[in-house]
Amino acid sequence: MRALFAIVLGTMFIACHDKASMSSPTRTPRTVRTDTARAVKRTLDDEVIGTLRARTSATIAASVTGRIGKLNVTVGSRVRTGQVLLTLSASEIDAKAEHASAALAQASIELHRAEQLRSSQAIPASAYDAAVAQHRMAQAQLAEANAMRAYTSLRAPFDGVITGKECDVGDLAVMGKTLLVLESPGALRLEAAVPEAMASLVHMGDVLTAHIDAIATPLAATVSELGAAADPRSRTVLIKLDIPDLPNLRAGMFGRLAVPTGEERVIIVPTAAIVRRGQMETVFVVEGDSARLRLVRTGRTEGQTTEVRGGLDDGERIVIDDVTALTDGQTVEVES
């Protein structure tokens, strides 16, 4: 009986010794580096969808009615200022110009004859004045006809690229109908329809963040135009933002714009301090001379820092190196 009691007592002693060994913190100090959890203000934002468009764009339309007689460009053509893009065949305008030219020639003859007769006082002053008026009227009619004829040649208002073509040779061009679209390459801007509830938070000159899928890095977009009225159908306000000139960007590309809607207070820590084990996220907080394991809930990561949404307070010291080698309660010495 006594032997059995001794065996049971020895077993209990060993078990208690093992349990104490498992629960007690490591006594060997470990030198660690620490940082401080800091509270910062972060901007809250919502994303709206936008489209890249040329900053300088022109719609080429006819000012007179006529059939397209010659088309000098196509989509993708690069043109220079003043270059003839297309010409219209307008027989009625040509006829008026020829009639005005003939009328001016006749009026010039009549004026010359009136001047000769006036010098010899063979005609009254009223007849001479009538010849002068007729000559001026004929000059004005010819100038008007030539101006109308000039409208039959449509020229490029600036250097650019043809990005749209809605006509072909032989088509009837009527006044106001779009024939070509000309855009200036390189200078682009992002156009976005912002919900009217958010539009009041955007002001001229504000610098917002834009994300274009064609490039990896976000862009700084400056508000250059702000719609004065909201669209009653979509309840949005159109804003236009200038973006940097980059070679990989093209008009028509998809973009996303981050519109700030407020601020929030968050705790940030170095990303190296976060230990992830499965679905758990932890950090080691230095309390006295010990490293204590703390469960946290993280947010987004930017650069070398990560947001902590729960589990830490402002000013707490956390271990930032060799965190995977630490155990809860381990004695540590902070590196000075």
Q: Is the domain defined by 24-41+265-334 classed in CATH 2.40.420.20?
A: yes
Instruction: Determine the pLDDT at residue 94.
Output: 67
- The single-letter code of the amino acid at 163 is T
Residue span(s) of the chain under CATH 2.40.50.100 come to 66-87+155-186
Topology given in CATH for the domain delimited by 46-56+187-263? Elongation Factor Tu (Ef-tu); domain 3 (2.40.30)
Query: For residue 188, what are the β-bridge partners?
Result: 54
Cβ count near 160 (within 10 Å): 23
**Per the structure block, which two tokens stand in for 145?**
């006809």
Instruction: Determine the pLDDT at residue 335.
Output: 83
Q: What's the CATH number for 91-151?
A: 1.10.287
Q: Average pLDDT of each block of 10 consecutive residues along the chain (336 residues)? A: 37 40 57 91 87 89 87 92 88 72 84 82 81 86 77 89 90 89 85 90 91 88 90 91 86 90 88 90 92 92 90 92 87 83
C-alpha Rg value of the chain to the nearest Å: 41
Q: Quick check: helix, strand or coil at residue 187?
A: coil
- Cβ contact 167:67 at 8 Å: no
Euclidean distance between CA atoms 238 and 173, whole angstroms: 32
Instruction: Determine the pLDDT at residue 27.
Output: 58
- Cβ contact 135:111 at 8 Å: yes
Q: What's the CATH number for 66-87+155-186?
A: 2.40.50.100
- The single-letter code of the amino acid at 291 is A
**Per the structure block, which two tokens stand in for 74?**
């196509």
Euclidean distance between CA atoms 213 and 8, whole angstroms: 72
Helices (H), the chain: 2-23, 91-119, 125-150, 196-199
Instruction: Determine the pLDDT at residue 138.
Output: 82
**Per-residue DSSP letter, 194:** E
Residue span(s) of the chain under CATH 1.10.287 come to 91-151
Euclidean distance between CA atoms 50 and 326, whole angstroms: 48
Residue indicated by tokens 């909201």: 230
Residue span(s) of the chain under CATH 2.40.420.20 come to 24-41+265-334
Residue of 34, 52, 106 whose CA lies nearest to 246: 52
Euclidean distance between CA atoms 107 and 112, whole angstroms: 9
Residue span(s) of the chain under CATH 2.40.30.170 come to 46-56+187-263
